[in-house]
Amino acid sequence: MCMEYNADKKEIRLDKKLSKLDELVMKFVNIVEKHADYVIMSGYVSILLGRSRATEDVDLFIRKMSLEKFSELYTDLEENNFWCLNAEKAEEIYSFLKDGLAVRFSIKDRPIPNFEMKFPKRTLDDETFDDMITVKLPNNKIKISSLERQIAFKRYFLKADKDIEDALHIEELFKDKLNYEKINKLKEAIKNISDWYGKRIYETR
């Protein structure tokens, strides 16, 4: 696998043999991109960038849109053999997204792997679109969250062993090109979110 990262252009050129998971992700996002801005984050990013591990889902944000626009996206996904695991009607699925919940799509009759789709809920979520990176493959491209954002959320929000290992993988690959000041700022923003969630959980006990 050959990889070249241009931080100024927010671009990674990646020459790799695509796995079946990669091909499925490309099929899905190529449909989504016709209807909405999207950005992929979390575990699949590390896998795309060469980490060898399995995953059951691929996480992505899509920009908030009207029900009409979402219905067009949903119809396109259905026509390409994707189905929603949460509900069957576009109106129901859209209501989940509007309420800040995630919905899952997969190939029909194959619930794993699936795509966990969300609308951004917080300013920090919206900012994922501002610094996203385009990964350019030989015959396709995919939009992922910034490397610094990946590392910060994996290390300081998710914190599971696999998440720490994902962060370490990205750090090792791009250690000379990472903006550590940005990682630290994201760390503080994430801490504020974590403190808020902890307070809310305590208050509802």
Q: pLDDT, tens digit, for every residue of 52-72?
A: 988 999 999 999 999 999 999
Cβ–Cβ < 8 Å for 34, 156: no
Q: pLDDT, tens digit, for every residue of 144-173?
A: 999 999 999 999 999 999 999 999 999 999
Instruction: Pick the more confident residue, 191 or 6.
Output: 6
Q: Give the ranges where 42-179 is alpha helix by DSSP (H).
A: 43-48, 67-79, 90-98, 123-126, 147-153, 161-174
Where in the chain are the domains?
2-146
Using CA atoms, how far residue 130 sits from 7, 21, 62, 87, 173, in Å, is 14, 26, 13, 31, 22
Reference 163, options 25, 42, 48; nearest CA is: 42
Phi/psi region, residue 8 (left: phi>0; alpha: psi -120 to 50; beta: rest), is: alpha
| pLDDT band (50, 70, 90) for residue 194 | low
Residue identified by tokens 């796995």 is 19
Pick the CATH number of 2-146 from 3.30.450, 1.25.40, 3.40.50, 3.30.460: 3.30.460
Cβ–Cβ < 8 Å for 136, 13: yes
